[in-house]
Amino acid sequence: MESAEIARRFLRFFEERGHKIVPSASLIAEDPTLLLVNAGMVPFKPYFLGQRTPPASRLASVQKCVRTGDIEEVGKTTRHGTFFQMLGNFSIGDYFKEQAIPFAWELLTRSESDGGFGFPEEKLWVTVFENDDEAIEIWRKVGVPSERIQRRGLADNYWHMGVPGPGGPCSEIYYDRGPEHGRDGGPVADEDRYLEVWNNVFMQYSLSAVRSKVDFDVEGELPAKNIDTGMGLERMATILQGVDNLYEIDTTFKVLDRAAELTKTRYGRDQRADTSLRVIADHVRTGTMLVADGVAPSNEGRGYVLRRILRRSIRNLRLLGSGEERYMHDLTATTIAAMGDIYPELKTDAPQIHAVIDAEEASFLGTLRTGTAIFDVAVEETKRKSGTILSGDQAFQLHDTYGFPIDLTLEMAAEQGLKVDEEGFRRLMKEQRERAKADAKAKKTGNADVSVFGQLLEKAGKVDFLGYDTTTAESSVIGILVDGAAVPVADAGASVEIVLGRTPFYAEGGGQLADQGVIRTAGGVVEVVDVQSPLSGLVVHRGKVASGSIKLGDEVQAEVDVERRRAISRSHSATHMVHRAFKNYLGESAAQAGSENSPGRFRFDFTSAGAVSPSVLRDAEDEVNAILINDLQVNAFYTSQSEARAMGALAMFGEKYGDEVRVVEIGDYSRELCGGTHVHSSGQLGLVKILGEQSVGAGVRRVEALVGIDAFRFLAKESVLVAQLTEQLKARREELPERIEGIVTRLRNAEKDLEKLRSSQVLAIAGELAASARDLGGVSVVTHRAPDGTSPDDLRKLALDVRGRFPADRAAVVVIAGAPSDRPVVVAAVNEAGRTRGLKAGQLVGVAAKALGGGGGGKDDVAQGGGTRVESIDDALRQVGETIAGQLG
């Protein structure tokens, strides 16, 4: 029975019994404590907790889930996986044990021909909480003999959320796979032989204090008892398809089998290859589902989970011999085909899914090439010193400079029989994060301790923001900070942070820069240059007392710089419109990933696997400007988050919103969740000019654009520039691209000719250098300083050319150094006969590079390094010669 049919049967069974079928929630958890949905009941928690009203009292779903706690075990065992699907039926204050247990038993044991799963009754065992006699009695009534009902304690058969709230005993159903899988005795004896297939949770108590899984206080019974069940789809498929493990079920094995075919590997022959194939099959499936739900690869949060999963897949393909081949597109397509019957949206969104995964593969293959070379040098150095641990500094450099995730470094080190100083790595990472946090804190809070702001917030309460309706307002001073300390008064010249009871000033947020302006009192003026909200509800005005003084309790007139505000508002509205236009041309996967709205200019980051063509940029720009001409009204209103989503309002990826949200509409063209300020109608933007786009990370692109008078001035300057070019090149405007391309082509060809001439001059002395080699203990040694300006590539070619002129049976070492620019480079090459004498290019380069004030390394046959001291080149070559002489005795 295929996985899609298992899901259909489950949902149909419960729909026939009055359950409302709920589609799977996104893997992006609404619960702020979770990165990803990790259990089938997660989307239903608000109903169980009474925070939301459920759509019905009986519900059923097939929920996508991801768990990565045991990611290192994936592939090594046949039990661990990252993506799984949980079939569940739920009762919110409706039925309880007396119906939940018979439902489960009936569906499991009903024949396949009659819509059930056809489990033989004698193969099923159940466990119950140790004192849940009520559940035991119900199980006996449905036909389970007492000898196949086992009692278990809190650790196994009691469920709660880990926090105060609902909880209760649970009852699990197990399938006996037979004596070939383990010993007799039921689930308490062997959970490999007796496989859990279904768990019924009876939420009947309110827990007041939860200290651990087995240590909590029961406050009393819930007024309405709930049912939460879970049946693992992959686990069910394993049994119903007669396979040994979750990697061999239909939706996973199709990916595994395709990976084996692409890498010319046979599953089941080699343990190491099998491990890699299982990792690939599991992770590609997980990665595909995450991308489909809008997760983009990044270095933090759920984006890092995705990046880690995809990169483990790619690296295991390399371990199987994929080399530089890109197989992720093919494997993603296989996943979409395998999972598309259950999740049709995968087929619809296939182009966007491929785009994100393909971009991450391309990015990581480059990272692997660079990082692996550096890693190999670090391993060689560690082993040469008879060490067994890679230093935290080396691991941090691989992560920080070359993009190598620490888990990848750990895996590769283990394969080399080495460990990693994780503690040292974590310490360096912590120091880096603390520096970043300190920078951010300085930006948001100035020099003040956050606790000072907390006291101000407690004193003032939430500051009223009036800026949507006005740019001036009367208010009063309720807080003044100078150098981070609260003061009663600040005089002229003082840098201050001021808190008002209410304000028209917009605090930086949502990509919109802060307002500027002035705060006037009867006795002084403060020039406001920045506005921040260090704590939710608190608005802090930062600036300088320009004249007089300002005191606590002063009545003030707060005045926003109107022209600056209008220019920023134009940029913010333009960002919304460009966002909509990009979705129209690139698809819904072009989701906002960041923005900055400044006066007359904005930047907009969005998810995209590759560069956006100039034609698409031009079309999007034309569409936006056409909308401006229509002068659409801009409206803002508040509504619930669910209603906003129902009406199609766009939200920034990864942003957390409250239950009540503000929606900004630009006619019928654009609708987004937004707390920023905007124009009153689209015509006020005047003109939008997209300057271009570029990459700002794997799968993320950035567009920069000008708005209003800034856009007009840019086009005016561009027009003047074009006029000058037409005059100088004696060509019409439309001929300029072709004329300039011809000039650039001729220039490049001339540069290539010069480079060839330079290279031939360098290589012309190869024979002379070989002929002048010194003999050191039977080894021909050439050390030579090339003319300044010789490129690193030419230095390498020269070293290899000279080395190749010696007979194969003559040991030879060639070391060439030079200064391509203002930094020295050294290349060493040792032939096979020289390597048999114990001479290694990497070691010799290390000697020279150290003398040059730098570092380097490489393989035994050829290596390259460099430094900072050009004046030490001759000394470096001398030290190399002495090292060779010393090694040869």
- The answer to whether the beta carbons of residues 328 and 288 sit under 8 Å apart is no
Q: Which residue has the tokens 């509504």?
A: 639
Query: Which strand (E) or helix (H) includes residue 228?
Result: strand 216-232
DSSP string, 268-279: TS-HHHHHHHHH
3-state secondary structure of 758: helix
Token couple for 787: 């003319």
The C-alpha atoms of residue 883 and residue 889 are separated, in whole angstroms, by: 10
The C-alpha atoms of residue 177 and residue 758 are separated, in whole angstroms, by: 75
| Residue from 211, 228, 357 nearest 288 by CA | 357
- The residue type found at 866 is G
Per residue in 803-832, is it b (16+ CB within 10 Å) or e — as a string?
Answer: bebbeeeebbbbbbbbbbeeebbbbbbbbe
Residues in the chain: 889
Token couple for 604: 């907009």
Token couple for 385: 């010193």
The C-alpha atoms of residue 472 and residue 560 are separated, in whole angstroms, by: 6
Q: Does 329 appear as a known binding residue?
A: no
Token couple for 834: 């020289």
Residue 51 DSSP class: S
Per residue in 705-721, is it b (16+ CB within 10 Å) or e — as a string?
Answer: bbbbebbeebeeeeeee
Beta-carbon contacts of residue 363 (< 8 Å; ≥ 6 apart): 698, 699
Q: Does 572 appear as a known binding residue?
A: yes
- The answer to whether the beta carbons of residues 418 and 382 sit under 8 Å apart is yes
| Residue from 680, 637, 682, 685 nearest 661 by CA | 637
| Residue from 718, 662, 671, 716 nearest 692 by CA | 718
The C-alpha atoms of residue 675 and residue 449 are separated, in whole angstroms, by: 27
Query: Phi-psi region for residue 115, left (φ > 0), alpha (ψ -120 to 50) or beta?
Result: left
DSSP string, 762-824: HHTTHHHHHHTPEEETTEEEEEEEPPTT--HHHHHHHHHHHHHTS-TTS-EEEEEEE-SSSS-
Residue 53 DSSP class: -
* Residue 127: strand pairing partners: 150, 172
What stretches of 110-216 show up as alpha helix (H) in DSSP?
A: 133-142, 154-157
Compute how many other C-beta atoms are within 10 angstroms of the C-beta atom of residue 414.
Answer: 12
- The answer to whether the beta carbons of residues 592 and 606 sit under 8 Å apart is yes
The C-alpha atoms of residue 93 and residue 226 are separated, in whole angstroms, by: 5
The C-alpha atoms of residue 670 and residue 579 are separated, in whole angstroms, by: 9
The C-alpha atoms of residue 88 and residue 107 are separated, in whole angstroms, by: 13
Beta strand residue intervals within 419-484, DSSP E: 419-420, 464-465, 472-482
Q: Which residue has the tokens 């390259």?
A: 864
Q: Does 579 appear as a known binding residue?
A: no
3-state secondary structure of 94: coil
Per residue in 73-96, is it b (16+ CB within 10 Å) or e — as a string?
Answer: ebbeeeebbbbbbbbbbbbbbbbb
- The residue type found at 240 is L
Class of residue 878 by CB neighbours under 10 A (exposed 0-12, middle 13-18, buried 19+): middle
- Residues in binding site: 572, 576, 674, 678
- Residues in binding site for Zn(2+): 572, 576, 674, 678
